[in-house]
Amino acid sequence: MPDIESAAGQLAESLKKYKADYIEARLEQSQRSHITYRGKELESVGQSAAVGGNIRALVKGGWGFVSFNDLDGLPQRIELAVKQATLVGRETSRLAPIQTIVDTVESKQDSPLTIPLAEKKKLLDEYNEIIWRTPKLQTSVIGYADSHKKTIFLSSAGSYIQQQRTDITLRLSAVAAEDGDVQQANLSLGSRGDFSSMRRLHKEVEVMAKHAVALLSAPRVKGGEYTVVLDPVLAGVFVHEAFGHLSESDFVYEDDRLRQIMVLGKQFGSRELNIIDSAAVPGLRGSYKYDDEGVPATKTYLIKEGKLVGRLHSRETAAKMNEAPTGNARAINYRYPPIVRMTNTYIEPGKASFDDIIADIKEGVYAKNWFGGTTSMEMFTFSAGETYMIRNGKIAEALRPVVLTGNVFTTLNNIDAIGNDLDMNQGGGCGKGGQYPLPVSNGSPHIRISQCLVGGS
């Protein structure tokens, strides 16, 4: 079987021989390792490697897509993709124009797979031991994963882009129980391949486990409408889940009601509110130089000075909506075609300090971290991982985690203070169209929402 470099060399000539409006190929070579604990026991550990690719062909507006894990017989794969596209194509093909690019992008990090699995396991054993020193624990979960991936993108227009990237994630969860009451605390982080960021978390792990137990005796907030302050983690999740997905143009293009809501130029917040998605920010998990259609990464303002000014595009959605491509077409691996996805999504920092934000709150809620949540169009429900009362401008007693509910557009309008302390959370993964977990980052400074519905007792 040829390696992906030699296979790409063969494809570069073959792509030009077939009758189609456009053809692209993506070849991928990857290595991964993972370690999982459930409770005190090691549940699974292993390493794997994969080689594969896909062909995507466009004929009269119809796409054909073929994926494969064998690099032999590539001309037949192209022929099949073109045949599929011919069967469904019924209109004029439209793709936003881009420059032809030839480039090689090296990873700036050493592969985490060079570190022995035994060394990684030893570190996680230490974390698991710390978790289980805590009384009243019912169970715990630790999940570690890393990967190193090389991809080659090439197109019938002449682009040839080779990129490498590394990725690491670690998620820990402690579940405490007493008299039928169950509480949970989590810690998650990730990096673009820097394993040192996974080390020296012993204190954080201990705090996490003790927090799960402390929640068993924490009071519940009285449900109602409060002034709510979100920390950078929860505010980042809010901007990603509640607003970022609504900015993905395939959703907008396919939904008449959403098109009527997401009108460019519409005011959604104060002049201080700026929301950005950018894969061009260096060093974050959602960062890259080129997306999976060979489009350079951009910095895209979604909201600028409170107004909706942009959205996220693939080449196809950009052409259909007469807008510029933004470099947001992404696929989780070679088994899937690229679709419109977020990268690093965040609220730009303002000028207020945290003390300024809470200073004039007589009675409010401070919500930190993230436990879970759902979104449905413009409605959202999020569970905070930690919650505290704010009384007379000071952080007061800890509470049981709360649920925040509301309309995203009303909530954006109710943001009346934005902090100066932007922080990016890199511990998550995004899911869409069956593709999960895609590496992304989201972030924000602290933000204050003047009216927010808080679920409680």
In contact, 400 and 164? CB cutoff 8 Å: no
Is the domain of 189 the same as that of 290? no
| Number of domain units in the chain | 2
For residues 99 and 147, state if they share a domain: yes
Q: Same domain, yes or no, for 269 and 358?
A: yes
Are 112 and 188 part of one and the same domain?
Answer: yes
pLDDT at 372 over 90: no
Same-domain status, 172 and 294: no
Shared-domain flag, residues 293 and 408 = yes
**What is the CB neighbour count within 10 angstroms for residue 298?**
19
Closest CA to 186 of 393, 428, 410: 428
What is the pTM assigned to this prediction? 0.96
Q: What is the mean pLDDT of the chain?
A: 95
Q: Which domain holds residue 117?
A: 4-217
Does 200 have pLDDT greater than 80? yes
- Which of these three, 201, 217, 233, is where a domain ends? 217
Q: Are residues 161 and 263 in the same domain?
A: no
103 and 212 share a domain? yes
Residue 426: both structure tokens together: 């890199």
What pLDDT score was predicted for residue 1?
56
230 pLDDT more than 90: yes
Q: Are residues 182 and 328 in the same domain?
A: no
Confidence of residue 432 (pLDDT cuts 50, 70, 90): very high
Q: Which segments of 149-201 does DSSP mark as H helices, in order?
A: none
Closest CA to 380 of 433, 311, 450, 455: 455
The H or E element containing residue 88 is: helix 74-88
> Mean pLDDT throughout 1-12?
87
- Domain end call among 217, 244, 279: 217
Q: Which of 217, 232, 256 is the last residue of a domain?
A: 217
